[in-house]
Amino acid sequence: MRKVYEELTVAFRRHKGVLHPDQYDRIVRKHTTLFEDSDTIYELLKVAGYPIEREEEHYRYRPWFTPWREETYCVIDIETNGSKPDKSQVIEIGAVRIRNGEIVDRFETYVACAYLPDHIIKLTGIEPQDLVGAPSRREALTMLRAFLGDAVFVAHNAQFDFSFLNASFERFGLGSIGNPSLCTIDLARRTFESERYGLAYLNESLELGASVQHRAYCDARAAAKVMLKSFETVPDHVASTDDLIRFSTSSKKERRRS
């Protein structure tokens, strides 16, 4: 499905957020099987969190039309017992949903795990007994999938959290993550100057007042505060959610042209 997300997004941007059915069909048919027609792919896209909408005569890419200030963002942080999703797992998940600059919902859970290396215990303070009776990986990931919905996936160093969770979702038959993603490091680098952009450093230097301690929920809240700080200085030409996502990865040359 990753190819579908990428090709659809490129096409939507080329056609100002709208695709006619034949344009949509040409893309998804390249990725269909005997058991998946274009309508089935549409339902899979929706379940995966890809922000597509179907109207009578066309398909819409919602981030193209949604003002970024009115968007829903799901800021996520995970703690794991290793760095590779094929050899390790999530042990704690924390997330907050942000809308109109306010936290409107929160999610926090340990995840059952049989093995915690000593260095992870020292780093996070999570002990093996904390995970006894916690939801299984499938249960925890299913709950996170529901909490995420079709919000923008946000994290500090989003590439790690996104790729680790995406691999974990696929491993447990939950599909891939189709949500647009936003990295608070990338956005911070383009909205304010700082000597460093690590979460703990930004929390202290910006006096955000968040507790940063390698615990999922606390770090998710801290990352949300960094995002909201960045929002204060987003340029006026950034209007939609899609504008914001593209701005967060734009080069200096691209920003000078804007």
Write out pLDDT tens, residues 199-210: 999 999 998 887
Q: How far apart are CA 42 and CA 65, in angstroms?
A: 19
Range 73-100 average pLDDT:
96
Residue 252 class from Cβ within 10 Å (0-12 exposed, 13-18 middle, 19+ buried)? Answer: exposed
pLDDT at 34: 54
Range 21-47 average pLDDT:
84
Q: Active-site residue numbers?
A: 214
Instruction: Report whether pLDDT(5) > 70.
Output: yes
Query: Residues 8, 48: contact at Cβ < 8 Å?
Result: no
The second-level CATH assignment, the architecture, of 68-252 is: 2-Layer Sandwich (3.30)
pLDDT band at 33 (very low <50, low <70, confident <90, very high): low
pLDDT at 56: 86
| β pairing state of 90-99 and 18-19 | unpaired
Residue range 142-200, pLDDT digits in tens:
999 999 999 999 999 999 999 999 999 999 999 999 999 999 999 999 999 999 999 99
Q: How far is CA 24 from CA 53, 209, 233, in A?
A: 12, 46, 36
pLDDT band at 122 (very low <50, low <70, confident <90, very high): very high
Instruction: Report whether pLDDT(211) > 80.
Output: no
Query: Residues 240, 182: contact at Cβ < 8 Å?
Result: no
Query: Residues 218, 125: contact at Cβ < 8 Å?
Result: no
pTM over 0.85: yes
pLDDT band at 245 (very low <50, low <70, confident <90, very high): very high
Q: How far apart are CA 154 and CA 76, in angstroms?
A: 6
Say what percent of the chain tops pLDDT 90.
87
pLDDT at 7: 96
Range 65-73 average pLDDT:
98
Instruction: Report whether pLDDT(10) > 80.
Output: yes
